[in-house]
Structure 1
Amino acid sequence: MIVLLNQFLLLAAALFSIGVYGVIARRNGVAVLMSIELILNAVNINLIAFSAVHGDLSGQVFALFVIAIAAAEVGVGLAIVLAIYRNRHSVDLDELDLMKG
């Protein structure tokens, strides 16, 4: 079974579109973090697909770096969401302007 490059690109475009919609439309902090992860996974699919087509490992190495950065982003993002929840008892991102000092 042969999987073409355009099938990977369509999958990545769909994931990226769903992620962008989630970032724009969601108010929940955890849902926004999950949407950012979808965007990063779409980028990783593109990197690995182009790397496989061109026979070069640099795209796959760069995808590993993106995964490491995404893991750090999730750790920091969840810590921020937990701090917001402790102060506001809600993770609604629309209420963050009330925390201005």
Structure 2
Amino acid sequence: MNNIPLIPVLLLGAVLFCLGILAVITKRHAIVVLMGIELIFNAANLNLVAFNRHQPDLMQGQVFSVFVMVIAAAESAVALAIILKVYSYFKTVNLDQIRHETDV
């Protein structure tokens, strides 16, 4: 049952985290930035579950993972509501255009 070694799973989590950071830093579309943040949360969840698989007596990894998923879902709902309001006001979700319109 515990056939997958810990290091490859942690490396996958690191790759997901880096891709999420890259999306947040380089992309200017608000929805893509939110997707990058979700990748970061999923990388953290993957690491928590991986560590829990190597300490099966402790359920802390799975419990923390569930808390992170609940918080991420609530955060996504709030962020999407903010994006909808920004779109209704500025008629765009491009972060560069929103910044330039508020500077003028």
With the shorter chain as reference, the TM-score category is over 0.9
Counting aligned pairs with the same residue, the percent is 46
Please give the per-residue CA displacement for 1:19-54, whole angstroms capped at 9, x wherever unaligned. 000000010000000000000000000001001112
User: TM-score, normalized by length of structure 1?
Assistant: 0.93
User: TM-score, normalized by length of structure 2?
Assistant: 0.90
Tell me which amino acid in the other structure corresponds to 1:46: N
Aligned mates of 2:93, 2:4 — CA distance in 1 = 41
Q: How many residues end up aligned between the 2 structures?
A: 100
- Out of 56, 59, 64, the residue aligned to residue 57 of structure 1 is 59
Consecutive unaligned residues in structure 2, runs of 5 or more = none
Aligned mates of 1:70, 1:99 — CA distance in 2 = 29
1:95 to partner: Cα distance = 2.9
Tell me which amino acid in the other structure corresponds to 1:37: E
Structure 1 residue ranges (4+ consecutive) displaced by more than 6 angstroms after TM superposition: none
Q: Does residue 66 of the first structure (1) align with residue 63 of the second (2)?
A: no
